[in-house]
Structure 1
Amino acid sequence: MVFATQSYSQETVNTIKYNYNAFYDGNNTALVNHNATLNYKQKLSNSRITYTGTFNAYNFEYTGTNMPFTTVGIENINSLELDIMYSQNISNNWSATAAIAPTVVADFGNILTSKDVYLGFFAGANYITSDKKSSLNFGVGYKGYFGKYRLLPIINFSKKVNEKLSYTLGIPATSLTYNINQKHRIKSEIAVDGFYSKIRGDNYFYTSGGGQDTEFKINALQMVMVTGGIEYNYISSESWIASFKVGHNIYSSLDAIDDQDNEHEISFNNDINISVGFIYNINFN
């Protein structure tokens, strides 16, 4: 069983969010990720529609001295996703949820084709307790959290224990949050990130064996990463939240996929990661 994405289960406010994430390893492949997200929720009489736009820029630095592949064209991978989620109230506690999430994943250095577009979706139900302190969301989704897009059974649970403590079980993030006071907040988090991108151009992966080199055409690049860390939030006002996070990679993989759909591992064992960012709450009233 896997857990659901937070965006399908929790209240989404109107926000702009940006994070700069750096994953360091002096002996292998390093990564810098820029993430920007915009949320907007439209409330209707007995339902609501949430629009979420997400942009990710993944910049790889292949630091090995004898990399067994050509890196031109696979150093920068970008993704742009538009998530449209519709929730219909069924009763005081229950609601039905459906979402579509078309996503473009490519190096953006070439003309985009239909192979660069992936259509994610989610369909399920949500239960919220009468005191609004706990919620359970379940259903089925088609997403690319683990590289290639695949169909996943989904369940997600979140709970507000008291005014200071709350937690969320889900993907892409499972977290435990403690509010020190109105200005300071600490969060412990485990999060997953990944992509699958088609590669065009003259990119090859070379392997040695049997006394001769073998050459494979790289057709796609796939990354899967699970990180754990501690995040600090400073709440400067009702509109602005600043964040700083330091963590360690629990699991990471980066694979070049050839024209026979075989995976060739690229050294990607990042040790530590650092993230800084902000959240701006938009008031449309």
Structure 2
Amino acid sequence: MMRTNICISAVVLLFFKSALSQQFINRERGFELVRVDYTVIPSLGDIQLDRQGVNLNFFKKLNSGGLRLGLAYSRSELTFKDADESHQFGDFDNFHILRFNMSYIRPLAKNWSINISLAPTLSSNFKGALSTEDIIYTAFGTVGKQWITTNKRSSLRFGLAFGTQFGSPLLFPVLSYQKQVNEKLSYAIGLPVTGIFYTINKYNSINFRIRPEGAFVNNSNILRIAGDDRDFANTKLQLNAFSLSLGYDLQLDKHWVTTFSVGYIPTSNIEVLDDNNDVIYDFEADESISINIGLSFNINRTKNNDKNETRSRN
């Protein structure tokens, strides 16, 4: 029954490529139709995390706006280096997150817009029968204003979100200001993402991001802890982190883009909670690095692609 706020590392934002972090229109890449990625975090104290993910997206233009549908799946594996933890918490050695996202974007007068998103999420280790405890309903709603001048743009977006970006589901504010400085440089300041983005040429770009990362996974099996006579049902694995990452994007051709990033998490927690969300175990891990590689297929490129216009940052 330990509760210690200790630095650990987990680039767990890799569990959720949330639409909350979208910024400028990705004119050079187009719309991301498919993405696959792999992440390794070698040292969460005595835990290594490996994760594979795939994202599918679809966009339909409507008379009154646009509808975006997405399906994201990730499988994560925890390797416990401590034999006792491996024996007691082996139910968390593999867990899965399946999310269906529905977003509606409606433009308003004078470059204002609204964005509403609902994303029911199945988050479980699949070790027992599924229940409502394995389902998380995440959502957000924002209002935005965009300013456009010749070859430059900036925008302000604000609203509320309910999700797992900080671990256990909670309501938090969304506030983000994005600005294109010139045809190569842009930045974003706010929550949930702060970053700097630089386009070297039409094939290469780099970025630096600061953002929270989180996951909340149900154990659908009974958990028993040595020295405790109780049987714990519907325990949760909670991860929350704060990450800094440096990324590189390479445009392979007019559709395919590969990405590579190295991250560092200076502060984070990974804990097991009971069905009342009280901590029953803290893994007391240390800080770590992370490595992520990805490949995406993009469509709907425009004739202005070769002018190095501002990229959208996910």
Asked if these proteins are the same fold (TM beyond 0.5), I'd say: yes
Deviations 1:13-71 (A, max 9, x none): 24211221100128511111222222222112331111122222221111124428612
Alignment of 1:221 with 2:237, yes or no, is yes
The structure 2 residue matched to 1:53, chosen from 38, 57, 71, is 71
Query: Residue by residue, what CA displacement relative to the aligned partner does 1:141-172 show, whole Å, maximum 9, x if unpaired?
Result: 11111111111121122221111111223555
Cα pair 2:54 2:74 within 8 Å, conserved: yes
Cα gap change, 1:79 to 1:274, in 2 (>3 Å): same
The one-letter code sitting in structure 2 at the alignment partner of 1:78 is: H
Structure 1 pair 69–267 and aligned structure 2 pair: CA distance change class (3 A): farther
Q: Counterpart of 1:42 in structure 2: which amino acid? A: K
Change (3 A) 1:97 1:196: same
Q: Give 5+ residue unaligned stretches, structure 2.
A: 1-18, 303-314
Q: CA deviation at 1:214?
A: 4.0
- State whether residues 6 and 170 of structure 1, in contact with CA within 8 Å, keep that contact through their aligned partners in structure 2: no
Alignment of 1:236 with 2:246, yes or no, is no
Q: Which 5+ residue runs of structure 1 have no aligned equivalent?
A: 207-212
Cα distance in 1 for residues equivalent to 2:295 and 2:38: 9
Equivalent position amino acid for 1:274 in 2: I
Distance in 2 (CA, whole Å) between partners of 1:83 and 1:11 is 19
- Structure-2 change in CA distance of 1:197 and 1:95 (3 Å): same
Quote the Cα distance in structure 1 between the aligned partners of 2:163 and 2:285: 23
Bigger strand share:
1
Length, aligned pairs only = 275
CA distance in 2, matches of 1:169, 1:128: 15
Asked whether the 8 Å contact 1:70–1:205 carries over to 2, the reply is yes
Alignment of 1:91 onto 2:89: no
User: How many angstroms apart in 2 are the aligned matches of 1:216 and 1:105?
Assistant: 24
Name the residue aligned to 2:311. Answer: none
Amino acid at match of 1:6: S
Instruction: Tell me, in whole angstroms, the C-alpha distance in 2 between the residues paired with 1:260 and 1:237.
Output: 50
The more displaced of 109-118 and 168-177 is 168-177
The equivalent residue for 2:306 is none
Q: Name the residue aligned to 1:209.
A: none
2:178 paired with 1:158: yes
Shift of 1:76: 1.1
Pair 1:42 & 2:60 matched: yes
Report which structure shows greater RCO (CA 8 Å, sep ≥6). Answer: 2
For 1:283 and 1:59, locate their aligned partners in 2 and report how far apart those are by CA, in whole Å: 35
2:108 partner amino acid = I
For the residues of structure 1 that align with 2:68 and 2:276, how far apart are their CA atoms? 40
Q: Which moved more, 1:31-40 or 1:165-174?
A: 165-174
Tell me if structure 1 keeps the 8 A contact 2:178–2:188.
Answer: yes
Which residue does 2:299 correspond to in 1?
282
Of 108, 127, 147 in structure 1, the residue corresponding to residue 167 of structure 2 is 147
Structure 2 letter corresponding to 1:199: N
Q: Note the 1:130-279 alignment, pairs <5 A.
A: 130-131=148-149, 133-206=153-226, 213-214=227-228, 217-218=231-232, 219-259=235-275, 261-263=277-279, 264-279=281-296
Query: CA contact under 8 A between 1:29 and 1:270: conserved in structure 2?
Result: no
Instruction: Name the CA shift for 1:283/1:108 in 2 (closer, same or farther; >3 Å).
Output: farther
Query: How high is the TM-score relative to the length of structure 2?
Result: 0.79
TM-score calculated relative to the size of structure 1: 0.87
Q: Partners of 2:45 and 2:215 in 1: how far apart? A: 23
SS of the equivalent of 1:73 reads: helix
